[in-house]
Amino acid sequence: MTGNRSQIELLVVASQGGDRRSLGLLVRALQGPMLRLANRVLRDPAAAEDAFVEAMSRVLPRIGDFPEPRVYLAYVRRAVRNASIDLRRTRHHRDSHRALKDTRRLEGRSEIRTDPLTERLPHPGPDPELDAAQKQRARRVNEAVEALKEPGRTIVRDFYVAGFSYQEIAERLSISTTTVKRQLAAARSTLAARLGGGHDDEP
């Protein structure tokens, strides 16, 4: 039976017996295939390493709970996959939250400010002037976005309107996440200048 076991399974058995050297060798043996698994989910080698480390911190303390090495290795694979999915969700939530903050900051310079006291009073009904101002602002933002060059225009739409993460945009456009971030930063600067009340017309 022992002869049919893989090298990794033998390392599991040795590690379960308290062999600390075998435990280190086991982690190194798992690193390659588990990183590939994590990278298939995340499409980001650095993030895949984070997911691998997180998964190992969960599974190594439980190595003695699985008498059959193959069951333990299946548990390891599931833990790596779950850690990768959790990390992807966390990054997407963080990107979406950052997008909301960036949008508010972008529009903040042209936002109509109100007196805190008046905000507490009953709303008298639709304000035609405010409604017109909001529509005009929305039109200006849309025109400014439309005037952006590609791929900046598509990246802004995907990030702010569709809610895609950096990684998802990179995959859609076949570019790197670094390029997505650089293009988005440049687009934000351009939009801020165009929506800032005409400052780019000053000498």
pLDDT digits (tens, 9 = 90+) for 42-64: 888 888 998 999 999 999 999 99
Poorest-pLDDT segment among 114-118, 141-145, 192-196: 114-118
If one counts every other C-beta atom within 10 angstroms of the C-beta of residue 109, the result is 11
| Residue 79 in domain | yes
Statement: the pTM of the whole predicted model exceeds 0.75 = no
Q: What is the mean pLDDT of residues 167-194?
A: 85
| Residue 123 in domain | no
For residue 167, pLDDT over 50 is answered with yes
| Residue 84 in domain | yes
| Residue 106 in domain | no
The rounded distance, in Å, linking the Cα atoms of 74 and 82 is 12
Q: Of the candidates 34, 68, 89, which is a domain's last residue?
A: 89
Q: Are residues 21 and 85 in the same domain?
A: yes
For residue 26, pLDDT over 90 is answered with yes
Domain count along the chain: 2
For residue 112, pLDDT over 60 is answered with no
Cβ-proximal residues to 37 (8 Å cutoff; 6+ apart), any chain? 77, 80, 81, 84
Q: What is the mean pLDDT of residues 130-155?
A: 80
Q: Of the candidates 59, 89, 119, which is a domain's last residue?
A: 89
CATH of the domain at 39: 1.10.1740
| Residue 101 in domain | no
| Residue 97 in domain | no
Q: Is 82 exposed, middle or buried (0-12, 13-18, 19+ CB in 10 A)?
A: middle
- Tell me whether the omega of the peptide bond preceding residue 151 falls within 30 degrees of 0, making it cis: yes
The rounded distance, in Å, linking the Cα atoms of 125 and 197 is 28
Per residue in 71-111, pLDDT (tens digit) is: 999 999 999 999 999 888 877 655 555 555 555 555 554 44
| Domain housing 170 | 129-201
Q: What is the pLDDT of residue 166?
A: 84
For residue 198, pLDDT over 70 is answered with no
